Amino acid sequence: DPARRRIDPAGPHGGRPVLLLYRCRRLAAGLHRWRCRVYGRCRGPGPVTGTDSFFLYTERGNNYNHIAALGIYDPSTAPDGRVRFKDILRYFGSRLGTNKVFRRRLVTVPHQFDRPYWIDDADPDLEFHIRHIALPHPGDWRQLMIQVARLHSRPLDRSRPLWEIYVIEGLD
């Protein structure tokens, strides 16, 4: 993957902002949260809802029904004044069990005789889901938007839990 380059884990970009791009398939997340509040329980592994199935089945060609959020963080506000990729991995690894969305993956029924199912993934690969990349020099907003567009235009791997996080460095 050309966008995934080896960079110094200490953070070569000094005091520049660190960006997190979070891509996931939330599908009917708002409806799901509403159900959890009203009925007092959340659905775990099992069949996806009809709305979720609709979003999955309507993906065609380069039309993907996933969302993304971009956050800009100032590394000088970190406890030691910098953010390391291994610290980000460690943080997300410690929080992985707090939300089932990060451990569920999608399984489809042969010949689409039924809706797809969510099943628990016992050991998701954090280094696959959380990736570290850098913008090319000079790292301006245009390059950032091009990189975000490239990342968001790719489908999520349905054989793994449906989320990705990109730690992007190099924005001036």
What share of the chain has pLDDT > 90, as a percent?
A: 17
pLDDT on residue 37? 45
CB atoms closer than 10 angstroms to residue 170: 22
Query: Tokens 């943080």 belong to which residue?
Result: 91
pTM for this model (two decimals): 0.74
pLDDT on residue 138? 85
Statement: residue 60 has pLDDT above 60: yes
How far is Cα 130 from Cα 68, in angstroms, rounded to an integer?
14
pLDDT on residue 44? 52
**Residues 6+ away with beta carbon under 8 Å from 30:** none
Q: Which tens digit of pLDDT belongs to each residue from 70-80? A: 888 888 888 88
DSSP letters for 102-144 = GTEEEEPPGGGSS--EEEE-SS--HHHHEEEEEPPTT--HHHH
Mean pLDDT for the stretch of residues 46-65: 82
The pLDDT-based confidence of 21 (bands split at 50, 70, 90) is: low
Strand 104-107 versus strand 163-169 pairing type:
unpaired
Mean pLDDT for the stretch of residues 156-169: 90
Q: Which tens digit of pLDDT belongs to each residue from 123-145? A: 889 999 999 999 988 889 999 99
How far is Cα 61 from Cα 58, in angstroms, rounded to an integer?
10
